[in-house]
Chains A and B, each alone.
Chain A
Amino acid sequence: MGAAAVMAPALPGSAAAPFRLGLTPVFLDNDALVIERLRRALVGALEMPVELEQRRTYKEVTEMLLEGALDAAWLCGYPYLQHEDELSVVAVPLWNGKPLYQSYLIVGKSDDARDLSDLRGDIHAFSDPDSNSGFLVTASDLAEMGLRPDEFFGRTIFTYGHRNVVRAVAAGLVRSGSVDGYVWEALARMEPMLTNRTRVIRRSEWLGFPPVCAHRDRIADPEVRKFSRAVLDFDRTSDGRAALNLLQLDGMTPAYPSLYDGIRRRMRIYAALR
């Protein structure tokens, strides 16, 4: 799953440094077409070279953003809130018209588990320790029961990709998994053979969709402001719409203050146990 750099061809006569956007495979696993469409939409909007930087974990991408190695990054609500004082939300994707999504708890198609409590002692797959839907939701649910994941489950693994969680559950490598509901639904349309081998036994409340963030110190930079306008206008450009269609999203919207309160609440529950 290693890192991949997607280089934009240098524009003729332009010596400007490229705009660097961080992505994680947590979102959609190495989809070259999605990345290319996204890059093309941004190049057209920003009129400058764009580099899309992929890293294996949220942690790596978040650190690159904090260190200034990236101009912006598509993160998750959980790492954003972990560094809320340093990061600022540039835009939030709209899924089914809302900037909200859910976390799914999934098991194998023929598994008779009905709820989280039925999964005690078995193997569970998380996507990333810094993922809200792929870790925090289930961890905080267990924290409410007074248990840490490694106490409740027999063994936990991290697959560093929501699609990988679905694969692990579908193959029977693990009994259950915590997965991004948006990714599961998107996969159900693109790869029904995969999701058909799994079953959702629990859906979380609606939570703030993974945001596109930039460093607070750079939020007023012209490139970042231009980038912000570009992504918010994705639904109004053909390249942007093409990228959104591939991502099965409706558009981008600015964040409102209470959007991530649900995640914030879960962070508190989980932190209390730790």
Chain B
Amino acid sequence: MGWWRNFSLSLRVSLMVAMLMIAVAVIASQLVLSALDRQQVARIRELARLHVEALSVALGPFVLRKDVWEVYDTLERAAGASEGRRTVFSAVADRNGRVLAATDPRRAPVDSPISRLANGAQLPGKLQVGNREHNVKLLAPLVYQGRKVGQILTELDISDLVSERREARRLLLLGNAIATGFLVFLGYLATRRMLTPVSRLVSRMRETEGAPRPIPRDEVPEGDGEMARLVNTYNEMVRAIASKADTERRLAERERFVSLGRLSSSLAHEINNPLGGLLNATDTIRKYADRPDVVRQSADLISRGLRHLRDVAKATLDTNRYERTDTPLSPEDFEDLKLLIGPETRLNGQRLTWAVEMDRQAQPALPAAPVRQIVLNLLLNATAAAGKEGRVGLWVATGPKSLVIEVSDSGPGLSDSARVRLLESGPVPSNGGVGLRLVRELVTGLHGAITTERRQGMTVIRITLPVAARDAAAGESGEC
């Protein structure tokens, strides 16, 4: 029955209505046919009874006198005069069961026992007629003036009645089939029409692909029926989903600031430390303004310090500039990230292992902004998990069809809630932030995959981002 479940609900309901109608039609036809059969059997019995009675009246005195010729002559004339030559054969016997005469004397010679022919004969009142029989054989007592004077054996041709029954049966079945077909069609149309809102709902749900849209008000069924309530409930649900998505989006937006916020103290250190050196250099210049070598040395120092500050500011700005989705990913993006995360790891006394094996000539066609956000969030998560004196690592490699990013830490491993946020699409657990969920959504948006494992005491989160798929997706969207 798997194929049955593959049909749409509206088709299934329509087909079931059709099948029920056919079943009702079959039962109704059977009832009518059996009534018709009963009526016709009663008619044939009546015919047989009248036939025998008429013969009894005509033959009585001749049978009583055993007048062979008169019995024969009467039988022959009766057979010849019977409606549509209904009598195929008749034989009359005396009280001892000896044939007096028959319409076909060679089949029933005079004085032969009538019992020889009586095989399969029925009493007129208990006559049963099969569907394929053309003749019925009757054996009845010949009663004259209230006493039995002999027996009548007669074969009646009922082929016209049988064919009439067959024709009636054929016409009835044909009529029923046409009527049922028409009703089935109407039922199908009506059911389809009744279930149109469901079909519309299903197609709406199917075409949304994660962003369901409400059904327009003019398409909502009128009244307060189940269908109207169903569609209204769906619309409310769509609005609730949209509201939730909006909330999540705002949360994700905030997360970007959160991640930067988390870096702010270490970035402050990163800015503050060179500032001391720079101020010293300016003091030195003032003090030894007449010494060009010292001034040049101090100016170099100031220049290096300011460049470092410029790099930090650029990295922070780049990370915060989320709209730069069309800027392709480059090794510099990872350098920026190293610059951003470096102070955090140093602050925690952690050892940072950094290996970016990106071929500058064969850079993957990936947008920089989401990848930076993914890696930054994972690195922040890793530094938090690794704790003081821990180890944090990044390994990036480009393959022929994908970019692989591994972020590792020496922490105790992902908690259950962190695992849910990173690996599953269910509701976000109430404890903890949304950083890992943002990672998951960004990876999903890039058609990538996330796996985790413990390797040599390290928790490794592996992100695989398909490059080819990104190209294909870009091509598809470009056609729109």
Q: What residues of chain A have their CB less than 8 Å away from a CB belonging to chain B?
A: 1, 123, 125, 154-155, 157-160, 164, 168, 171-174
B69 interface neighbour in A154, A159, A172, Cβ under 8 Å? A159
Within the assembled complex, what's the spacing in Å between the Cα atoms of A1 and B104? 21
Residues of B within 8 A of A155 (CB): 68, 110-111
Contact call A173/B111, Cβ cutoff below 8 A:
no
CB atoms of B73 and A164 under 8 A apart: yes
- Whole-angstrom distance between the alpha carbons of A157 and B76 in the complex? 17
Do A168 and B69 touch across chains, with their CB atoms under 8 A apart?
Answer: yes
Contact B106 A172 (CB under 8 A): yes
Q: Hey, which chain A residues are within 8 Å of B76, CB to CB?
A: 171
Q: Could you tell me if B110 and A174 are in contact, using CB atoms closer than 8 angstroms?
A: yes
Q: Would you give the 0/1 interface string for B53-70, flagging 1 where the beta carbon is closer than 8 Å to chain A?
A: 000000000000001110
Q: List 22 A-B contacts (CB under 8 A).
A: A1-B73, A123-B110, A155-B68, A155-B110, A155-B111, A157-B67, A157-B68, A157-B69, A158-B69, A159-B73, A160-B69, A164-B69, A164-B73, A168-B69, A171-B72, A171-B76, A171-B106, A172-B104, A172-B105, A173-B69, A173-B101, A174-B105
Q: Which of B101, B106, B109, B110 has the most CB of A within 10 A?
A: B110
Q: How large is the interface on B (under 10, 10 to 19, 20 to 34, 35 or more residues)?
A: 10 to 19
Complex contacts, A157 vs chain B, CB 8 Å: 67-69
Q: Once bound together, how far apart are the Cα atoms of A271 and B109, in whole Å? A: 33
A164 — which chain B residues lie within 8 A by C-beta? 69, 73
What residue in chain B is nearest A173 (Cβ atoms)? B105
Contacts of A160 in B (CB 8 A): 69
Whether B72 and A168, one on each chain, are in contact in the complex, defined by CB atoms closer than 8 angstroms, is yes
Contact assessment for B69 and A125 in the assembled complex, using a CB-CB cutoff below 8 Å: yes
Please name 14 further chain A to chain B contacts, defined as beta carbons within 8 Å, in addition to the given A155-B68, A164-B69, sorted by A numbering.
A123-B110, A157-B67, A158-B69, A160-B69, A171-B76, A172-B104, A172-B105, A172-B109, A173-B68, A173-B72, A173-B101, A173-B105, A173-B110, A174-B110
Contact residues in A for B72 (Cβ distance below 8 Å): 168, 171, 173
Bound together, the chains give a CA A199 to CA B324 distance in angstroms of 126
CA distance A125 to B67 in the complex (A): 12
A16 to B413, CA, bound (A): 149
Whether A171 contacts B69 in the complex (CB less than 8 A), given A123-B110, A155-B111, comes out as no
A125 to B110, CA, bound (A): 12
B96-113 vs A: 1/0 string, CB under 8 Å?
A: 000001001110011100
Q: How far is the CA of A172 from the CA of B68 in the complex (A)?
A: 12
A123 to B106, CA, bound (A): 13
Contacts of A1 on B, CB cut-off 8 Å?
73
Q: Name the A residues within 8 Å of B68 (CB-CB).
A: 123, 155, 157, 173
A155 to B68, CA, bound (A): 10
**A111 CB, nearest partner CB in chain B, Å:** 11
Residues of B within 8 A of A158 (CB): 69
A175 to chain B, nearest CB (A): 9
CA distance A123 to B110 in the complex (A): 8
**Chain B, Cβ-Cβ closest to A158:** B69
* Minimum C-beta distance from B80 to chain A (A): 12
Closest 9 CB pairs of A and B: A173-B105, A172-B106, A172-B105, A159-B69, A157-B68, A157-B69, A173-B72, A171-B105, A123-B110
Contacts of B67 in A (CB 8 A): 157
Cβ-closest chain A residue relative to B102: A173
Chain A's nearest CB lies how many Å from the CB of B26?
Answer: 51
- Taking the closest CB of chain B, its distance from the CB of A167, in whole angstroms, is 8
> What chain A residues lie within 8 Å of B73 (beta carbons)?
1, 159, 164
B residues 92-146 touching A (CB-CB < 8 Å): 101, 104-106, 109-111
A158 and B101 CA atoms in complex are apart in Å by 14
Please give me the residue from chain B that is nearest to A154 by CB atom: B111
Q: Nearest residue in B to A171 (C-beta to C-beta)?
A: B105
**Residues from chain B with Cβ under 8 Å of A125 in the complex:** 69
A160 and B70 CA atoms in complex are apart in Å by 10
Most chain A beta carbons < 10 A, residue from B67, B69, B72, B105: B69
Chain A residues with Cβ under 8 A from B69's Cβ? Answer: 125, 157-160, 164, 168, 173
Which residues does chain B contribute within 8 Å of A174, judged by CB atoms?
105, 110
Q: State how many angstroms separate the Cβ of B126 from the closest Cβ of chain A.
A: 31
**Complex interface: chain A residues within 8 A of B105 (CB):** 171-174
Task: Tell me how far the C-beta of A161 lies from the nearest C-beta in chain B, rounded to whole angstroms.
Answer: 9
Cα A160 to Cα B106 with chains together (Å): 22
Nearest residue, chain A, Cβ from B73:
A164
Bound complex: CA A45 to CA B199 (Å): 105
Bound form: Cα–Cα A164–B69 in Å: 8
A165 CB to closest chain B CB (Å) equals: 9
A160–B69 Cα gap in the complex (Å)?
A: 9
Instruction: Output the least CB separation between A166 and chain B (Å).
Output: 12
B397 to chain A, nearest CB (A): 114
Chain A residues with Cβ below 8 Å from B106 are 171-172
Chain B residue numbers with a CB within 8 Å of A159 are 69, 73
